Amino acid sequence: MCYWRHKIEHIGLACDAPMDICMTFNNTANSLIKYDFAKRIDASECKELLHQAYESNLVQCGENVREGVNFICNCCGCCCEAMLAAKKFGNMHPVQTISFIPNIDSNTCVKCEQCIKACPIGAINKVLKDDYVVIKVDEERCLGCGVCVRNCHKNSIILLKRKEKIITPSSSVYRAVLMAIEKGQLQNLIFDNEALSSHRAMAAILSSILKLSPAKKLMTSDQLKSVYLDKLLSVKK
């Protein structure tokens, strides 16, 4: 069941998108089934749900890992808090994009604005270009979900590969480390108990080491002779 649409249903504001549509796998699924929050289905039923989600213009969002995916959600732009966050804080990338970006052919586009209405996160706008109105995708915010493509009756939108490569982490642990590195918070991920003075001290030391120049990092690693530190510094490059 879709958690957010279910929540919004309690205040009478849920949209018409299917409720029993989000999928979980592995241990997460076992636990939800055990406590009667989910039901077991087979692979063909999963495919049918994906098809229903596609037909309902939902954004298909999987866990951002290459192996051991624990969920595939099918999100709408009105109830789903992940999509609402992407709409509100798009530039902070609360939802990871994929490697594709829509390209609008301005020669065939008739500016019907259907794609603007369909985009779940408001990433398409009407803008003025050389005194002409054009329909433009905000590439910083766009998730590459493809919902706009299937809503353009003129077939004016195609998905192209993004110029920059998007790297999907191999596992949840790798993803957590990458996110911590991107946010400059690796030290807090490793020494996560701020109540312990030893953790606070080690987090501060590691944070300072991570800010050093490559040459100084090498000297630090040599002095400490730590295989563990070597590994961390090689990830941070």
Q: Which residue bears the tokens 């433009």? A: 136
Among 104, 206, 209, 232, binds ligand SF4 (CB under 6 A): 104
Q: What does the DSSP 8-state code read for residue 168?
A: P
By CB under 6 A, is residue 84 in contact with ligand SF4? Answer: no
Among 14, 23, 145, 177, binds ligand SF4 (CB under 6 A): 145
| Number of Cβ within a 10 Å radius of residue 118 | 16
User: Residue 133 or 201: which CB sits closer to ligand SF4?
Assistant: 133
Among 14, 24, 84, 102, binds ligand SF4 (CB under 6 A): 102
Q: Which residues, 9 to 38, sit near ligand SF4 by CB under 6 A?
A: 22
Rounded to whole angstroms, the Cα distance separating 198 from 39 reads 45
User: Residue 136 or 199: which CB sits closer to ligand SF4?
Assistant: 136
Rounded to whole angstroms, the Cα distance separating 44 from 33 reads 19
From the CB of 135, what's the least distance to ligand SF4, in Å? 5
Q: Which stretch binds ligand SF4 (CB under 6 A): 43-51, 72-80, 175-183, 202-210?
A: 72-80
By CB under 6 A, is residue 147 in contact with ligand SF4? Answer: yes
Ordered alpha helix ranges (H), 70-146: 81-88, 114-118
Rounded to whole angstroms, the Cα distance separating 109 from 8 reads 36
By CB under 6 A, is residue 217 in contact with ligand SF4? Answer: no
Minimal CA–CA distance to 138: which of 99, 90, 105? 90
Q: Which helix (H) or strand (E) holds 74?
A: strand 71-75
Torsion angles phi and psi, residue 162, rounded to 5: -65, 150
Task: Provide the mask over 105-134, with x wherever binding to ligand SF4 is found by CB under 6 A and - wherever it is not.
Answer: ----xxxxxxx---x-x-xx----------
Q: Which helix (H) or strand (E) holds 186?
A: helix 186-190
Question: What is the binding site for ligand SF4 (CB under 6 A)?
Answer: 2-5, 22, 73-75, 79-80, 82, 102, 104, 109-115, 119, 121, 123-124, 135, 137, 142-148, 152, 154, 156-157
